[in-house]
Amino acid sequence: MSEQNKFWKSSRRIYRFLIVVCVLALVSGIVIFYLNHDDIDSDENGEKQYTTFSDDDPNRIENGIHVRTGLTDAPGLQETVANCTSCHSAKLVMQNRMSAERWHATIRWMQETQNLWPLGANEAIIVNYLTTNYPPKNKGRRETLVGVDWYELK
C-alpha cells in the first residue's frame, strides 16, 4: 500500500468517527431534552399537567367570599373592591377593625397623604360595609385615654 493510500484510509476512518460522535451527541441531546421536558409538565403518574386559568371572572364569589380579594360578599362589596384594593391588599382593610368614626378618619388620612380620590356617596356605603362585616373586636388592651386632665409632676 502506498503512503498516500494509507493516509486517505486513516483520514476516512477519522471522518467516520467524527460523524458517529456528532450523531450520538445530537441524539442524546434530543433524548435529554425530551426526558427533562416530560419531567416538567408530567406528574408522578406521567400524566400531562397543564396550567389552566379558569378564573376568568375577577368577581367570582365562593362560599360568600370574593375570591380575588378575600372580602366577604355583602352589600357594599363592589364599592369596597373598586375603591379600596387597588393600592394595597384587601387584607390591610380586613385586619383593621375600626368604628365608623375611625374609618372616616383613616379614609381622610389616605386622601390627604396617599392620593386616595374623593369617594362621594360611596364613602358611606364602604364604611357601612366595613363596620357591618368587620366590626371592631373586643380589645385585649384598653383604649387610649381621652379627655384626661393631665398635670405636670413637680
- Interface residues with ligand HEC (CB under 6 A)? 83-84, 86-88, 92-93, 96, 106-107, 110, 114-116, 119, 126
- Quote the least distance from Cβ 31 to ligand HEC, whole Å: 52
* Bridge partner list, 61: 66
Is residue 84 a contact partner of residue 93, using CB atoms and an 8 Å limit? yes
Nearer Cβ to ligand HEC, position 65 or 98?
98
- Quote the least distance from Cβ 145 to ligand HEC, whole Å: 19
Closest-CA residue to 123 (of 99, 110, 101, 107):
107
Nearer Cβ to ligand HEC, position 118 or 147?
118
- Quote the least distance from Cβ 47 to ligand HEC, whole Å: 43
CA angle 107, 111, 116 (to 5 degrees): 95
Nearer Cβ to ligand HEC, position 32 or 92?
92
Look at the alpha carbons of 124, 126, 129, 131 in this order and tell me if their dihedral is positive or negative. Answer: negative
C-alpha cell at 35: 426526558
C-alpha cell at 136: 371592631
Nearer Cβ to ligand HEC, position 22 or 100?
100
- Quote the least distance from Cβ 40 to ligand HEC, whole Å: 37
